[in-house]
Structure 1
Amino acid sequence: MASASASHATRLCVLACRQSPRLQSTLPHPRLQQLQRGSVPAARRAFTVTTSKWDDAKQPPKAEGEVSAQRATESTEQKVQEAAEAVRSADASSDPATSTPFATAAPESGNIELFGEQVMDATAKEHGYATWDAFVEGESEKGPELPVRQREFEKEFMAVVEPKPDRRAFWFDPEDPEPDTEEFDEFDEDDMTVMAHAKLQEVQEMRHYQRLAIWELPLLSKLAKPFEPPTSKQPLRWRYTTYMGDNHPAEKKVVVQFAPDDLGLTKVQTDKVKKLCGVRYNPETEVVRMSCESYQNQAQNKRFLAEQIDKIIAEAKNGKDTFEDIPLDTRHHKSTNNKARFPKEWLMTEQRQKTLEEERKKFFQIEAQREETHQVVDGKIAIENHLMGKLRQDQAREQSFAPVRAAAPLRRSLGPKDRANRT
């Protein structure tokens, strides 16, 4: 459906933009002669969607007013001819190749003929002629080749815009023959794969950055400035987060760090600042860290932090309550220095290695002596001795029951007949 609608829209565009057939005769058309003379009573009607009717104020005059109307028409034609001659003289004095077609304004009442002249002159200038007469003469001198060229152009244009459907194609649909069914040529293995193109793009990107590193990055050394440590008037350290080329919600966050000892306060006031900061104070590094991301812009968050620091300093300078009776709470801080470490006594040294080797030699000597005196228990021998003792016990039991079995008479099992006789 998408291809069908696209072809239909293309056909409408071609019909709307198709050029009018050029002049085939060598002589100007009578209609053109009338336009040149400016004696055409009717003008081109503007495009409208409403029905045309006579205006009450501009109805045609009656029979007794025809003479006055004729005089008005003649005076208008004379003015139009004078204006057309002025335009022709101005165009003839200028170069047609460099002249610019003037914009044709909407015709006003009484200037319709002049508007037609302007349209024709603008068309002539678009084709490289100074006037409409020169355009007609130049086109008529080309002879009968114009229709042939026009037909060839239309044939080629229609072949591109509206190709004929291939009925032998696999995708041809008789009910919807408008979609393009042209079969494309098979891949001749004359191009790289998609992965190869991606690899080539990666190589090109790396070469681009290498060129920047070689040719442009050394130029940044001209902008280098020596490092200057912050002075005592700059106790605050601000940190911002920026994502190059992208908008991120974390960009609005601002972090500030400062040491209470660098604020230029007394010992009591400094301790009060540490107590007021609470969990934001790190007793190990002696630095206060504060952040804010409540507002949409970095400047607003920075301003908020600056105001909070000013309030803390003002409260620390207030001598009504110095907080000297309150100890500094550091329970929120977990030191990383209390982790268990490997004891130094367990580390392997040369002296300890010699001691271990001597102890191993003594142990092997003691084991050899125990084997010689049969003090070492062998598991295989112990299992074999246990099995042999159990076998001897079974044989002794069989021998003890042998006389009893020899003295007892053998009993024959009773059959069905023996049981019947016994009963």
Structure 2
Amino acid sequence: MTTWNCSTDLEQRAGRIVRQGNENKEINIYSYVTENTFDAYLWQTIENKQKFISQIMTSKTPVRVAEDVDESSLNYAEIKALATGDPKIKEKMDLDNEVTKLKMLEANYKSNRYRLEDKVAKNYPEEIARTEKLIEAVKKDISNIEPQGDGENKFTSITIKGEKIFDKKIAGEKLLEAIKTVKINESKMIGKYRNMDLEVSYNFFTNAHDFSLNGAAKYSGELGTSADGNIIRLDNALEKMPEKLKRLEEKLVSTKEQLENAKEELKKPFEKADELKNKVLRLAELNNLLDMGEVEEKRNDNPLVEDVKRAIIDFCNREYEENYSYDEFSTLYPDMKHIGIAYTNTPDERHGIQFELDLEDYTATQYVNDVIVSHYDYVKENGSVEKALDVMKFEMENGDFSTFVAVDEDELRKATGMEIDDEGNFSKNGR
């Protein structure tokens, strides 16, 4: 016999029976509940815990997708159903699970949509503009480059520290001498080769010197210790210019295609939006019918808190093109300490940015990769709960999506050691 308890206790209790060494080949485990009592809610608690545990044990993350109840969970669900006398309670329980799963699917849809919106509005156009500019630069360099000489020795000349050298062997030796003058963490312009400026720097990670031939664009490589070999390396970098141009042209075509595909994807609505809306409305209706105490408590909530809730719903409808009602707030945000307002990724999709409100402690927190980057205490900063709620309401009414996902570089550096580059990506030491 079992009474209700947490899923781990039930599993442990059963494990003392279903085990190796049991002298009985067949056993029966009985679970007793009382019909038309609160037992159904208690078994639902066990079911939810079991689902979470099963997802973790099977590497199914509940954050992304909640799979249907597994075999163990169904046992608890069946018991819960048997204890339910009112069919509306059973309907509410089923809707709770269905709405949770649909909202996770919707969250995935929105997350993908935010990424696509960023790409369509910023990333792809900027990438196209950069690539087009680079294509023109490479074309210009190809037309301006000094051609190699005829015959076996194609070397023409190189200028090092103002001295123009026509002998290839001497040129290689002079180049080696000039390289040795470049120190760690230093980049130095040491001459010209084939109408391109020759820049040399020391690479600490490879313990070698790198070169860059600079025209309208840059063509780089690594220098060695061979005098003749270094001249060949310079030529090889320049000979790859047509290949680089071809890659850039292919990249331009590909990026333009990605932009058009992303625009088409943005036209697609969340395919289960109507189903979710109908089930959320039905769930709210059932909650009102089954739990009048909760309705009464809701009526007695702080009116300023309710104003903030309405502002949050209005924000979601405004920024995410939703059509939520105030009555859906508790279903959309069951945890008042963690109210997700905005989520996005950096342009390279390597780092996630999240902003959430806490309506119990009246705070706002911004995360990067689940690390707290900024935390604002509205009561502490404004002196009272009333003023704190006024400020929260004002920010939700006047802020937009970009406001809440904008990361302060100083705060990011302090929290994670990362910096923000010109493209809006986060990295440590340029990596």
User: Is TM more than 0.5 here?
Assistant: no
Which has the larger Rg? Answer: 1
Q: Return the TM-score normalized by structure 2.
A: 0.22
Calculate the TM-score normalised by the size of structure 1: 0.23
